[in-house]
Amino acid sequence: METRNITLEVLRYRPEEDDKPFFQTYENIPCDPDWVVLDALNYVKDEMDRSLSFRWSCHMFVCGSCGMVVDGEPKLSCKAFLKDYGDKIRVEPLANFPIERDLVVVIDDFVEKLESVKPYLIPKEEKTVDQGEYLQTPTQLKTFKQYSMCINCLLCYSICPQYGLADEFVGPAALALAHRYNADSRDVGRKAREDVVASHDGIWECSFVGACSQVCPKDVDPAGAIQQTKITSAIDYVTSFIPGVKS
Amino acid sequence: MSRKPYVREMSKTSWFLSQARYRDYILHELTCIFIAIYALIWIFGLFRLGQGPEAWQGWLDGISSPLGVVFHIFLLFFAAVHTFSWFKVVPQAMRIQRGTDFVPGNIIVGAHYGILAVVTLFVLVLAGAA
Amino acid sequence: MARSSKAVPWLVFAGGGTATAFILPVIVIITACYAFFGGFSAALSYETMHGFIGHWLIKLIVFGIMFLTLWHAAHRLRVVAHDFGIRADTPVAIVVYGLAAIGTLATIIALLNI
């Protein structure tokens, strides 16, 4: 197969020797036509510069660990095909997160937020395995299925200006996942999640820029999930003042 | 090994110029300024309407003054931006599920434009017949 | 964390955004036609407008649209301030909602005088 020579400009940061990140250029990377950006990075690491750090695992859009900013756009680098890019590609770590090293970012903040929205099934009554499954119809499944496709790749946090402006914001993926469980017919945990979800730093910090949904590699549509949550939460909030209505 | 994470700050005052999607966003957010001014002009107009024919005519003269014409050029643009951007995102905020399918977004948006056309034509015919 | 009271103005914002998306274009077209070439001058004449808006039902509708529009614009202005890096959210909220409240009150007074 005919190879194509590609140049990568990679934002590098080595904490033990650098005070701030800088771009390092790797030229003449011989790439197969069907390669993705991640393949080119792996070539650099294997053949040119072993010190380059980046996260990756599955190479097939499932694990969510190889998120990077490619030519200004957050992408899974395993899904960024070289045929869609020019001969010079700029690769940076995800925006809005501190850089740990090179293309590796610190994601502790997100993990804490993810935990805070209780992203797991809270059933009305716990069942033992002997008591059987929590049944659900295909229609009930369809209601939330889209929001369950999230792989926590954090492309949405990288593009979200509200998270960039104020990192107290719970953010797109965590709120979409809260919505995924709230919309699940087997779940009764909406009230338990509401204190975080409907707080000032939750859904109300979102101004519906909609960028998260545009960059999501799994078509989760976090922006849509957040707006739907706003509607139900706002109605809850208002009706809680009406005597006799329990929120 | 000690850690030293590097924090990159986002520009708090110019981020919205950095990407086309942010520029689209800030454009439709700014519609509120023109809508607010237009609302204030109408509140003033309602006062003038209560003060008699001459006061009302004065208000109408203001509308058709050079400043009023220039303002309306901007207003036409921003009113269109508001309606377009508002309708565009309705399918995301309001999903309509029918069994295991969702009503396609373009049908929801199309219905909105249909209602808009009916409202607009109705008012225009009413105003034209006056 | 407590549930945010932003839910209330947001509901009005959403309602106002929807109402203005449907109604604003045609109103703007009419006043723009008048501004540009004197169009709809009969509809905008004192007699027609006074008779039209003088009806209590129309007054109620005008009030509803005005209320929604003002609070829609106020809430969006609050968000824009935040987007432009003004982080004093509470003072901003007091100012924009205060202006919307004054505008709403002015609308009521103006309508009662027609």
Q: Give me chain A's average pLDDT, please.
A: 96
Q: How many whole angstroms separate alpha carbon B47 and alpha carbon B26?
A: 33
Using DSSP, how many helices (H) and how many strands (E) does chain A show?
Answer: 9, 7
In a mutagenesis test of the C interface, which of A163, A167, A199 is the best target, namely the one with the most C β-carbons within 10 Å?
A199
* Non-local CB neighbours of A72 within 8 Å, separated by 6+ positions: A90, B19
The domain made up of C7-20+49-112 has a fold known as 3 helical TM bundles of succinate and fumarate reductases (1.20.1300)
pLDDT at C35: 98
Sort out which chain B residues have CB atoms less than 8 A from C85's CB and list them. 12-13
The continuous run of DSSP H or E covering A180 comes out as helix A172-182
User: What average pLDDT does range A204-225 have in this prediction?
Assistant: 97
> What is the CATH code of the structural domain delimited by A108-239?
1.10.1060.10
The continuous run of DSSP H or E covering C27 comes out as helix C7-37
Evaluate whether A26 touches A7 at the Cβ level (below 8 Å): yes
Q: What tens digit of pLDDT does each residue of A104-160 get?
A: 999 999 999 999 999 999 999 989 999 999 999 999 999 999 999 999 999 999 999
The chains found to touch C (3+ Cβ pairs under 8 angstroms) are: A, B
Q: What tens digit of pLDDT does each residue of A156-180 get?
A: 999 999 999 999 999 999 999 999 9
Partner-chain contact C7 A237, CB within 8 Å: yes
> Per-residue pLDDT for C24 more than 90?
yes
Sort out which chain B residues have CB atoms less than 8 A from A99's CB and list them. 5-8
Q: How many whole angstroms separate alpha carbon A158 and alpha carbon C10?
A: 26
Domain boundaries, given as residue ranges, for chain A: 4-105, 108-239
Q: How far is C3 from chain B (nearest CA, A)?
A: 21
pLDDT at A240: 86
Sort out which chain A residues have CB atoms less than 8 A from C14's CB and list them. 230-231, 234
Partner-chain contact C6 A233, CB within 8 Å: no
Which ipTM value was assigned to this complex? 0.95
Q: What tens digit of pLDDT does each residue of A14-31 get?
A: 999 999 999 999 999 999
Q: What tens digit of pLDDT does each residue of B80-98 get?
A: 999 999 999 999 999 999 9
pLDDT at C1: 60
Sort out which chain B residues have CB atoms less than 8 A from C43's CB and list them. 126-128, 130
pLDDT band, very low/low/confident/very high, at A243 (cuts 50, 70, 90): confident
Out of 1.20.1300.10, 3.10.28.10, 3.40.30.10, 3.40.50.300, select the CATH number for domain B15-93. Answer: 1.20.1300.10
pLDDT at B1: 61
pLDDT band, very low/low/confident/very high, at A197 (cuts 50, 70, 90): very high
Distances, alpha carbon C101 to alpha carbons A132, B38, C14, C56, in Å: 56, 16, 17, 22
CATH architecture of A4-105: Roll (3.10)
What SS3 class is residue A88?
strand
Partner-chain contact B10 A142, CB within 8 Å: no
The chains found to touch A (3+ Cβ pairs under 8 angstroms) are: B, C
